[in-house]
């Protein structure tokens, strides 16, 4: 008799960040993760994580809504169902529940983790096998202070932890942001590439002016300069400038990717398991991008070690990610809830080893940081 899903527990876990993390829509000093513990009748436990940025400042799902919607709507769809047919369970959730991509991603991660443990295979092996055992990781400079960002970047280079940097801009007037970015690029020179993430803060006319200045300053990539729903504008920007555009919020899944490609978009797509409803949805987008000649970038919603490990297992199955990854979420946190942290070194991170995600909880740390 096959194993069935017996219980699904969700926990809100609050972890402080090592410094304020300033984005165009909010400044974070704490990250809240929704941790999923899915227990099965064969004794296997699968772990998952659903994480977003700044409550509701970033998108339509908050940590509290992720937990409530799993507990109330999604978990009842899964409890009592056979554990091993993940495709059927994904289809069941998508049929009965609209949206809620982050919540679904957390549950799919837990299903894959459990199945990997059950079969003695890593999640990457379940997805077809690894092309890479370690992945490059950039660092996001988001203190909002030019001198602090330069010092932080130089320290990361000296420590050989990161050699590519992304700057969060958009909260200030465009000319001020451009001066900030240009000064950092000038200070780093050829030692590091510098990209920017505008987090949808500009309108198209402002973006034209800002992107031209950033291109002149030697910036390598421009992420989501205008609002997500303005796909036609993003396509125009990608065709107007030499510096590539990175679509993030504008490309949630393969359908969005198809619309952009058919419209004439060129540049790159940011993959995120959270926005695509899980690992398999993100890989569907990746395969479409590869067929269309669009570059790939492994994105994050600043997940902790569980969500980051899940993403790494997905990215490791892809032959090429032209723009690397930003899977630095655990490094932004002052502490962790896992027994063995991910291994960051030499400008990248190792893929966790072992069955499933290769992640074991630190029960004491989890109890300490879980919201009461």
Residues known to be catalytic? 168, 326
Cross-strand pairs, 11: 35
Chain center to CA of 350? 17
- List the one residue out of 356, 364, 354, 329 whose CA is nearest residue 344: 329
Query: Do 66 and 103 form a contact (C-beta atoms < 8 A)?
Result: yes
Cα–Cα distances (Å) from 298 to 15, 60, 92, 129, 270, in that order, read: 23, 22, 27, 17, 6
Give 331's DSSP letter.
G
CA atoms within 13 Å, Cβ hemisphere of 53: 20
Q: Where are the alpha helices (DSSP H) in the chain?
A: 63-69, 75-78, 86-96, 101-119, 123-126, 146-158, 174-188, 204-216, 231-240, 254-263, 279-292, 305-315, 363-369
Distance CA 367, CA 372 (A): 9
Strands 164-168, 139-141: pairing is parallel
Angstrom distance (rounded) from CA 28 to CA 21: 5
- Measured distance CA(359)–CA(208) in Å, rounded: 44
What token pair was written down for 114? Answer: 């459990």
Residue 183 in tokens: 């000064």
Quick count: other Cβ atoms within 10 Å of Cβ 52?
A: 25
């Amino acid at each position: 008799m096959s194993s069935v899903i017996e219980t699904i527990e969700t926990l809100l876990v609050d972890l402080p960040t090592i410094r304020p993390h300033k984005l165009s829509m909010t400044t974070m000093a704490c990250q809240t993760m929704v941790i999923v513990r899915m227990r099965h009748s064969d004794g296997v436990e699968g772990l998952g994580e659903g994480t977003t940025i700044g409550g509701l400042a970033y998108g339509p799902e908050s940590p509290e809504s992720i937990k409530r919607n799993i507990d109330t709507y999604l978990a009842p769809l899964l409890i009592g169902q056979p554990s091993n047919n993940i495709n059927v369970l994904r289809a069941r959730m998508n049929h009965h529940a609209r949206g809620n991509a982050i919540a679904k991603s957390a549950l799919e991660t837990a299903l894959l983790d459990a199945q990997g443990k059950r079969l003695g295979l890593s999640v990457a092996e379940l997805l077809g096998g690894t092309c890479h055992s370690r992945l490059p990781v950039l660092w996001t400079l988001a203190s909002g202070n030019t001198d602090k960002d330069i010092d932080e970047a130089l320290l990361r280079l000296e420590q050989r932890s990161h050699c590519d940097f992304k700057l969060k801009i958009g909260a200030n007037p465009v000319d001020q942001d451009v001066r900030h970015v240009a000064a950092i690029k000038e200070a780093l020179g050829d030692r590091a590439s510098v990209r920017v993430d505008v987090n949808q803060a500009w309108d198209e006319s402002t973006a034209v002016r800002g992107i031209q200045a950033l291109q002149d300053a030697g910036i390598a990539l421009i992420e989501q300069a205008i609002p997500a729903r303005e796909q036609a504008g993003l396509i125009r920007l990608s065709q107007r400038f030499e510096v590539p555009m990175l679509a993030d919020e504008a490309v949630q899944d393969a359908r969005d990717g198809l619309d952009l490609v058919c419209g004439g978009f060129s540049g790159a797509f940011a993959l995120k398991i959270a926005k695509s409803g899980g690992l398999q949805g993100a890989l569907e987008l990746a395969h479409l991008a590869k067929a269309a000649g669009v570059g790939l970038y492994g994105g994050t919603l600043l997940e902790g070690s569980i969500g980051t490990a899940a993403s790494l297992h997905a990215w490791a199955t892809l032959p090429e990610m032209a723009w690397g990854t930003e899977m630095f979420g655990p490094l932004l946190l002052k502490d962790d809830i896992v027994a063995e942290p991910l291994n960051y070194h030499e400008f990248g991170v190792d893929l966790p080893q072992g069955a499933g995600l290769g992640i074991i909880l630190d029960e004491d740390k989890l109890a300490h940081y879980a919201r009461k």
